[in-house]
Structure 1
């Protein structure tokens, strides 16, 4: 039973309507042999590509994904990559450049290109909290979404093209019945999160790598005061590093917040509201994420997707917090 729990599994594939499906995945934190992780699914999608691969990725260390990207390039697939200016000299990006893959940086030393986005053949999109690193798949707590939708892929493609070409012009949010997508600093993501938290009626569960935003912390406290169940898990090392982390403030106000005990990172950035709405992406709960960095979040309205995230939250909260 324990082995089953620590294996990364596909928790659910939910067809929100006929033209879109979403699959949530979570890190295999046991990771002893670096096998069986979601990176295998990503590599399969890359290997099965037929026309194009576009990737906006803060950090890349996974050699198998790197190799798959190079192989796709050699097959004639159009492969483009954008990363942060401080990461472009990392070994895996250098490897891509040596293979003549198009790799550019964001040319913005004052901000992070912090997205984690992969778009394949203009219909498969991968997003989430995890960089394409060994630790993201096999050590940290991270989450990933695989979205099969031409509409969603085209929307992310528009933003990717801007990032790749150094265009800073904002794009409007993607709004549909069951999915919303926001980019920072294009949209005021903080405002969107506050609205969601302020309208919560029953429960709010969150997983936070970096959390310094006092407005979001105050909204969680207000929700607690009006009877909403609020529970959260913070990354211990990041909390101790961040001078303005909201962990101790929330704890002092009586909220049920705990440190994770994973000796690696709790790198998730997740909010689950009323067991039916999931917010996830690259966006940490910080002012820099809101105002400066290149970030994205997806808001999904689905009880089945939410259940997958609640199960993951409970696994982390019950293990780390008790």
Structure 2
């Protein structure tokens, strides 16, 4: 079975080295660099309006196009801030939805068709109020109107959304790093690699390799992240079973896996590390909408899917679907205490 995401895998393979495709597309990357530099200069010179929220804002984003693991970091950040006495809310673009002129605000179990898959997942996992709109200033304003108790906003993505003032910037990258170091389309970067030197923290989502220093001198705070899978949850019944059951062929003779995320290979590697030999492994396009089931031709007793996919599969009448949730584990135990301290100082500045 040919993966539907194979057309996106082609550029990602080329973006990891400075080969013929990168050289061919260099003139277009020069245009991207010109646009990025010109746009940032306009905001810095005050020629474009910037919204300053009455509460601190943390932006969690990336410069590498596609998925790097931001959503688990957003969830972990919201949970950690609540544990430290904050009342967080979340704003997001609402990718894949037509929001309209007014931002949408919700809490708890949200419809991914109206909010987007990642905001719906964040809302379910954290119980925090969530607002979505492509103009994040409108999302922040709507969030605070409906939930005035919110005293810190976590922005899901939006590192390049310069119309929103922010107090802390956290970049999430993975083992691909900056790829070949070139801007789109010759490389995978939305902004020059030097942008990493200007953010407050860099979290690297990795499964192996040497750990990053927690806080090197003269640069952003750095930490590694590993995504630890939990027990699988049956979509229809809500029953949970340990992952070891899916590695045991006497329990589930045939196990398949599917992932409609930015880097499906990472999810499949997580299952292999748990001893699960899934076949087939169906790599779907990021934000796959599941309006039509991709599982009709899959012969398996169980199909393991990500939490991001599970949010959209609730309407599928398929008893084989099991969600495998993951939790972010960070190498820097002081990261969220550092973040809370930064936010307290920012709140004091805003209150002046």
- TM-score, structure 2 as length reference: 0.26
Q: Does 1 or 2 have the higher relative contact order (CA < 8 Å, sep 6+)?
A: 2
What is the TM-score with the length of structure 1 in the denominator? 0.27
Larger strand percent: 1
* Greater Rg by CA: 2
